[in-house]
Chain A
Amino acid sequence: ETGVTQSPTHLIKTRGQQVTLRCSSQSGHNTVSWYQQALGQGPQFIFQYYREEENGRGNFPPRFSGLQFPNYSSELNVNALELDDSALYLCASSLGGGDTQYFGPGTRLTVL
């Protein structure tokens, strides 16, 4: 157990809807990174938050947005859902931006 939690575990949405995923980082960790993992692929970096500021972003469109709160928990918001957004969404927590990252259990999103 890494101490990183994510909610919900599973989610089913329809195309065009909006979704919010949540992550609580491991105690003492101030950095949260979000990844998208499609079936059969490695995780792809979405963005990272360090002390409530975005600290790097991958090749994802602006409809993917996020927040980090003062307690270092984080949200990932996806607007205008598309079928290709169906994936496992992973949150990873670390102490500092370049440090070892520990993953939560993930949220499985299905877009119909």
Chain B
Amino acid sequence: QKEVEQNSGPLSVPEGAIASLNCTYSDRGSQSFFWYRQYSGKSPELIMFIYSNGDKEDGRFTAQLNKASQYVSLLIRDSQPSDSATYLCAVNPGSARQLTFGSGTQLTVLP
């Protein structure tokens, strides 16, 4: 079992819709959770981080964390074609220093 799992997609949504990206992780001791956006040929760009159970909102983005279910998600409201990218979920286990990444979900927002 992979440590961090994401649906690889591709996920397609129409412009203006809500895109929902999901991630599960295996280490129950994980402390912090991150979402990065990566455009083709570019490096990952931090979008959101979340440490506590519940929702965290930043503009059109909402991160949701449920530690009991070992599940973290990212919602993108009013999706735009410029949101088309690969979204990487990353987890920092409490005992380690590194980030463990999922393989990413490719999102396409259709005009």
Contact = CB atoms under 8 A, between A and B. Distances in A.
A42 B98 contact: no
Given A90-B43, A103-B44, A104-B43, A42 B102 contact: yes
Contacts of B103: 40-42
Contacts of B25: none
Contacts, number: 58
A98 B32 contact: yes
Chain B contact surface mostly: strand
Contact of B97 (A35, A98, A106): A98
B46 interface: yes
A55 interface: yes
15 contacts: A42-B4, A42-B90, A42-B102, A43-B88, A44-B101, A45-B99, A48-B97, A55-B97, A56-B98, A88-B43, A98-B32, A100-B49, A103-B46, A104-B43, A106-B42
Interface of B: 4, 31-32, 34, 36, 42-46, 49, 88, 90, 92, 96-104
Interface of A: 2, 33, 35, 40-45, 48, 50, 55-56, 58, 88, 90, 92, 97-98, 100-106
